[in-house]
Structure 1
Amino acid sequence: MADWHWEYDPDDLPDGLPPEATAEAARLAQEIATRDSMVFLDGAAYAGPNPGLRTECGGRVMLTYLTDVRGERIVVVQVTWFG
């Protein structure tokens, strides 16, 4: 398994969210990164199509994100908090 990571774009995306929302978003983003590292085993050498924009719900948070397979990262572009 590669060292996949996740990040927000823009960096200040979680600003203004309550602490429990940012913690839940971080937990879910890490789960997605771990899962995608097992799905896209080729990582930087991947030559297939880009998975595109996707959403994932967990607990009281929903993330909209892109999987950058070649960059081995998850890019979170929207956080929706249902708290």
Structure 2
Amino acid sequence: MADWHWEHDPDDLLDGLSPEVLREVGQLAEEIAVRESMVFLDGASFTGRTPGLRNETRGLLMLTYLTDVRGERVVIVQVSWFG
């Protein structure tokens, strides 16, 4: 994984989540960032169409995110925990 990383927006998005949920969010977000780094190999020099808002679910967790290809990052914009 080149320099790809994940972050969340807004800053308070993860406030109030339990440590268990935070671990799940971090693990899933990291996996998404790794996958996106393998899909968008050009990274910062990418010139194609970028994907829009997408969801990824695992168990009781659903993340809504945007892939900022040129910024080599995944931005988590919503966390839903159904536990």
- TM-score bucket (shorter structure): over 0.9
Q: TM-score, normalised by structure 1?
A: 0.96
**Paired amino acid for 1:15:** D
Q: TM-score, normalised by structure 2?
A: 0.96
**Paired amino acid for 1:61:** L
Greater than 4 Å deviation, 4+ residue runs: none
RMSD over aligned Cα atoms: 0.8
Correspondence 1:39-58 to 2 at 5 A:
39-58=39-58
- Please give the secondary structure, in 2, of the residue aligned with 1:10: coil
5+ residue gaps, structure 1: none
Q: Distance in 2 between matches of 1:58 and 1:26?
A: 12
- Please give the secondary structure, in 2, of the residue aligned with 1:76: strand
Correspondence 1:20-39 to 2 at 5 A:
20-39=20-39
Q: Distance in 1 between matches of 2:26 and 2:59?
A: 12
5+ residue gaps, structure 2: none
Q: Distance in 2 between matches of 1:49 and 1:65?
A: 16
**Paired amino acid for 1:21:** V
Q: Is the 8 A contact 1:60 1:82 kept in 2?
A: yes
- Please give the secondary structure, in 2, of the residue aligned with 1:20: helix
